[in-house]
Chains A and B, each alone.
Chain A
Amino acid sequence: MDAVLLSVSDFVDLTNQTLEYAYPVVQVEGEVAEFKVIQNKWISFKLKDDGAVVNCFASVYQMRTPLENGMKVIVVAQPRLNNKGFFTLNIKAVKPVGEGSIKKGFELLKAKLEKEGLFAPERKRPLPRAPKYVGVIASTESAGYADFIKIINERWGGLKVEVAHTQVQGLPAPDQMIRAIRYFNGLDELPEVLIIIRGGGSAEDLSTFNDEPLVRAIAESRIPTLVGVGHEVDHTLADMVSDVRAATPTNAAQIVVPDRNEIIRSAKAQANSVGQLLTQAIDNYSRQTHDNLSAAFARIQEKLETTYERLHTLRAMAAQLNPENVLQRGYALIRGEQVIGAVLEVETYKTIITTEVKDVRAK
């Protein structure tokens, strides 16, 4: 059979059709080399391993995590032969793989967002103490979500919880969560808090929460955000950019609602404290009344004592004026006219003498 004669253009088109049919999308793992940003719009790099190298091409907007030479990544791409005869992988998505590359991607994006001030403490908004309506973004099939709901129900009641079920790992997860964030932010009645939760997982699973568009969507949320991803030791850019970080989904539930038992205890304690204040007030009034009565009694006592003292003085003075006392001291009282021959009566303390006046002289 003769080979088909094709023009160069037809050959390129036919090759691309064949590639599209055989490999509409491929995932290729390799190391990034010769990474370049062209006119701030395009990105090109080579993906290599020990045996081969392939050109990769993407727009800046398709890059959800910063790349650097040496990083190990998986690219999701469409293989193409371009008009200049170069075979390329047209990138749809890139994600770092392996602990070192994930960490590198995390650090690069963290530095970029930090420079923009997205983690600044002054951007953080407080959460209401006891919200009535919250939005939750989670996989409703996950253990983290089950823990969250269990703790919410144990701790609080009367809360309206609207849950957006999304994937929380894998390539589609960030976009799903971004749509859910936009959904809640577009509601007529906004939830008071938007909670994003996911239980523990590998560094690769949790790297979903280091996706740049997702992190930016959390930062732009009109609704204050609470993010609880992984375990205590796991840190993601999503929780760093949120208004409040929870260590785990359980911790997110503890943060978002108060503990009803604590509130009941506090209310009872307040009522008791009012009782104590009342008893204390009654004691104060009693003490004051007692003090007033004591003061009045002391004043009366003092007045009485002064009066008794005065009476005693007057009595002593009166006693001194009593003629009997003068007679007792040896004096005598004489009655009668002081003329010669008159009869006088002389009264002493113990006797009364009658006598006659013999002489009267001036002294």
Chain B
Amino acid sequence: MDPLLSGGIGLSEILIVLLKVVVAFAGLMVGVMAMVWFERKLVADMQNRIGPNRAGPFGILQTLADGIKLFFKEDLQPERSDPFVFKLAPYLALVPAFLVFTVIPIAGNFSDGQDGVVTLFGHETLMQVADPQMGILFVLAMSSVAVYGVMLAGWSSGSKYPLLGSVRASAQMVSYEAALGLSVATVLLFAGTLSTNGIVASQAGWRWNIWMTLLVPFVVFVIAATAELNRPPFDLVEAEQELVGGFHTEYSSIRFALFFLAEFMNTVTMSAVIVTLFLGGPSGPIPSGAPGWVQDFLLPLIYFFAKLLVFLFVFVWFRATLPRFRYDQLMDLGWKFLIPLALGWFLILTAIKVARDQGWNPVVAGAVAALAVVVGGLLLRSSIRAAEDKDFDAVDPADLDGAGA
């Protein structure tokens, strides 16, 4: 809960809220521009090319130039499209992308049991736009709303390729959301709160969830997040070779720009969510003798952005390195591997935590739970085998129309 908004809300509180919102908005826009440039430049380096180098120093204004160009392009509405839904879809993609970032803590001192409260213009507040109690649920809710943007864009275009792309996208995003949610549940087990500020505070003093949860939920989350973002190697949604441009094939001009913006903004915010959940957000070693602004703002911001940059780099690295999955491989990985793994890991950690609380032997409890999970895994394996052995598409020749004619 943000102490700023817990009491009465007067003019000064509203002004601080507006300041935060505008700074977050501007920061996100600049961040997205930088991310597009970073991705193009880095992929170019990895492919032994130069990349954008004309607009501004090192081509850093390339995204801005592209954006301005898109403003001057003709905005077309295909004749077969559904007019209202076609116009609504870009908004449904962009607005959730903005909103996810509101719950990300980007600074504040979390060392020595402090809860990250800073003083801004004489008011106590948190260095995040909002801190609702259900913080992390809000992230999941917004990523669910983003599915509607993609789905409706493809459905309303009245064209073949966007429809195929959007149906693929929604099935993919929905499948990996289950794995995403299950690995978040493991983090919540350790944090004991849904508030993002509380999750970061629970990781203070190097108790980062990445090793507290023994790495597996982190790996599941990163893979599921990559799929959720429709980024390579899970970019079947816009597989150029088969679907032209995927769900936004029929979009042009500024509407296309909004989809593009949403896509990169989601990459940035999802990296920030990973940092918040698993790497302790802005927390890190803070010398106690330092002045207040260094403790509250400078060092946490540096830690947060350093961690963020690691994941942005990793996402670009994935793109430059890994070939695209086939659709059945994608679905098998999500449903038959990541979801059972995340579920099993959650149960093992729950057993260990409860055993510690109850004074049972945690090793025995963990071993029993692990045994149960292994049995479950073997059952899963035999189920997959059973499905492979059945021939569901077999047709009785007598049923064939005109057989033997």
Asked whether A and B interact, the reply is no
What is B's interface to A at a CB cutoff of 8 Å?
A: none
